[in-house]
Structure formats: structure tokens, C-alpha cells
Amino acid sequence: MFGGRLALSAMATALGKESEAHAWVDDAEHIRSLIVERLWCEEDASFYDVDPDGSFVRIRSVANCRVLGEHVLRLSVPRERGMFNALWERQLHNPKAYWAKYPLPSIALDDPKFVRPIPRNSWGGASQALTALRTLRWMEHYGKAHELRVLMAAWCEAIARAGCFCQQMDPETGVFTQPDPSGYSPSALVFLHFALRLGRISHIASAQQVMSSCQSTVGGRTASLAC
């Protein structure tokens, strides 16, 4: 909602509708203030959903990354910079929480709500290709370029080893959920883009081989992912 309003403001500006652009920015800033004031838990260094009574739903989920993906926290604002540093150090870069061998799990490793065994299409713990892809929206923005390269290398290694483009994997072992059909486009984008960023030509060649043979079943029909 925050990022969407900023996008609408940019669109209004491009159309010469300055009053509408300012209105969308005002709406976005109101949402930012609500996120910072009502969804941040200082004690846990985490953003949480809240229930109808306004109490925290204390499940440390990948929603923490989505807040950063929209650049809600501003490093130029001392309090928000402190919030980011706490979130990064105590949660996202903590090996016991989110910084697993194959980051980033959809639920913190040490959260009681982490689901095992990991089922298919699970945002209850698995490291999701979509989450990995979205790190491009925030890790460099917040000065974590080195850590982004570590994450990219882990994902490239796991996908190359699997030889398929699947949706999710175990954050501790890098093993993709089985049975999980290959042909998941966010995983292919992760592999291709990360390999290019890392300069891993051998991985790019592997991706081309996988894509040439990768097939997915849609509506009872077999469709090749290759183009």
C-alpha cells in the first residue's frame, strides 16, 4: 500500500497532475507512519501484523523483508536507521533467525511457528524464490551489497545442484521441496539474474540447458518453459 501510493504519485506527476501527486505522497507518508508506530516491536526488533484489538501477532515472518522492499525505513532518519540496524542485526542477519545457509526463510528458523516437515507452496518456513528475487529491491539500497552476493551465490549453488527451477527450498539444506514441479519462472529469473551479477558463465550455460528441457504441466497439458 505504501509503495503503491508512491507509484501512483509518480504516475500523476508524469501526467502533469501535481495536486494528485502530492495527495498520493501524503497518503503514503500516513501509511509509513502507521507502519513505524503500530507494527514495530522494539522488544523483538521485528515488524508484526496486529490483531483486531491492536495486539501484535508475534510471528516473525518474511513480511519484515517486504517492509524493506518498499523502503519504508529511511536511513536519513535517526530513529528509523536504528530500527533498520536492529532488524538487520537481531533478525535478518542472525543465523539463528533469518540468515540461514540458504536465506531467507519465510518464517524465522527459531520461531515456534516454523513448519516442519516443509509442505509444498509453504510460506511457513521455506526459503522462497520470490523472496530471493525481491532482495534486489532492498539489500543494496540499505548498504548490504556484500551480503546480497552471499545470498545470490547460495541460491545459484542450490539451483545448479537441483538442475530445476522450483519454488522453494529448505533454508538449512538447500534441498528443494519434493515433489515440486519445475518450470517456476521466479526461480529461473533468480538463477539467470544472480548468475549474471556474479559473473558465473558456467551457471548461465547450465540454466540454458535446464530451460531447454524444463517442462511444466498446466491444465493437463505439457508446456515447455524454453523460449
Rg (CA), the chain: 19
Same domain, 156 and 188: yes
Half-sphere exposure of 146 (CA within 13 A, CB side): 1
Question: What is the domain extent for residue 198?
Answer: 39-224
Each residue's pLDDT tens digit, 103-113: 999 999 999 99
Same domain, 17 and 82: no
**Do 138 and 71 form a contact (C-beta atoms < 8 A)?**
yes
Residue 56 bridge partners (DSSP): 50
As a whole-number percent, the residues of the chain with pLDDT over 90 amount to 83
Same domain, 117 and 171: yes
Same domain, 30 and 95: no
Same domain, 71 and 8: no
- What pLDDT score does 179 carry? 79
Same domain, 54 and 164: yes
d(CA 114, CA 124): 6
Same domain, 18 and 82: no
How many structural domains compose the chain? 2
Same domain, 50 and 153: yes
* CATH number of the domain bearing residue 198: 1.50.10.10
Query: 218 pLDDT band (50/70/90 cuts)?
Result: very low
H or E segment to which residue 157 belongs:
helix 145-162
d(CA 68, CA 6): 15
- What pLDDT score does 216 carry? 44
pTM, rounded to two decimals: 0.86
Nine-digit cell at 181? 514441479
N- to C-terminal Cα separation, the chain: 34
Q: Which residues lie below 8 Å from residue 14, measured CB to CB, with a gap of 6+?
A: none
Buried b (16+ CB within 10 A) or exposed e, 184-217: bebbbbbbbebbeeeebeebeebbeebbeebeee
Task: Kindly state the average pLDDT of the residues 115-125.
Answer: 95
Please give the mean pLDDT across all residues of the chain. Answer: 90
Same domain, 110 and 198: yes
Query: 182 pLDDT band (50/70/90 cuts)?
Result: confident
d(CA 94, CA 89): 6
d(CA 103, CA 191): 14
DSSP structural state of residue 106: S
Same domain, 116 and 204: yes
Same domain, 71 and 181: yes
d(CA 96, CA 148): 18
Same domain, 26 and 92: no
Query: 223 pLDDT band (50/70/90 cuts)?
Result: very low
